[in-house]
Amino acid sequence: MTGQPPRALIVDYGGVLTTPLSATVGSWLDAERIDPERFHALMREWFGPEAAGNIAHDLEAGRITPAAFQPRYAEALRRADGTLPDAEGLLERMFAGFQTEHRMLDVLRAARRHDLRTALLSNSWGFDYPREGWDGLFDVVVISGEVGMRKPDADIYLHAARLLGMTPSDCVFVDDLGVNVRAAVRVGMIGVRHRDVDTTIEELEAVFDTSFR
């Protein structure tokens, strides 16, 4: 970071602009009768520090379609009794509990009032984003499956910065996953790990030296 405050705010979608992913997924696991331990073990396999390329990465980068991914996902989530959750609509049901975090939308509106550039940077699981009103929130929207890149690969952060007309050091990136925040820092951005709205607002106000309330 230079002597000047950053000039752009980049935010994740799920878990930042929505209610926490953990609560949404927990309700979905209950409804589908999927063992939470099996699910979390699968997530560690696919997204842990030792994870190699896999079908979830392919989905996020747009190399396979949600329709092709869902049967394989259902198979990986096989219940203890041997049955599978219904593959059709599986991803839609997984994210159905997302609720908008309106205070974080207010942060983006405040950022634009302060003449900051804003962007969304999200890894997509075939989720149907509610894009109404986004023109008033974001200068740039980067969805992994639409650009063929995914977090935490460096290229997608650099791509978002370029679209904003900024250098990475001009940008603050907010995400609820530490691995994604650390990757942003490695390319030169300022990283903020989102745990709750109040803490994130406090950190952003300190970094930008302005009010977001």
Q: Which residue has the tokens 């609820």?
A: 176
Q: Residue-wise over 18-57: b if at least 16 C-beta within 10 A, else e?
A: bebbeebbeebbeebebeeeebeebeeebbeeeeeeeebb
Instruction: Tell me what pLDDT residue 25 has.
Output: 93
The residues with which 100 forms a beta bridge, in sequence order, are: 18
Task: Give the model confidence (pLDDT) of 39-93 as tens digits.
Answer: 999 999 999 877 888 999 999 999 999 999 999 999 999 898 989 999 999 999 9
Question: Is the pLDDT reported for residue 1 higher than 70?
Answer: no
Contact indicator for 199, 193 with CB cutoff of 8 Å: no
- More confident site: 193 or 82: 193
Mean pLDDT score, 175-187:
96
Second CATH level (architecture) for the domain 8-19+99-208: 3-Layer(aba) Sandwich (3.40)
Task: Give the model confidence (pLDDT) of 116-172 as tens digits.
Answer: 999 999 999 987 899 999 999 999 999 999 999 999 999 999 999 999 999 999 999
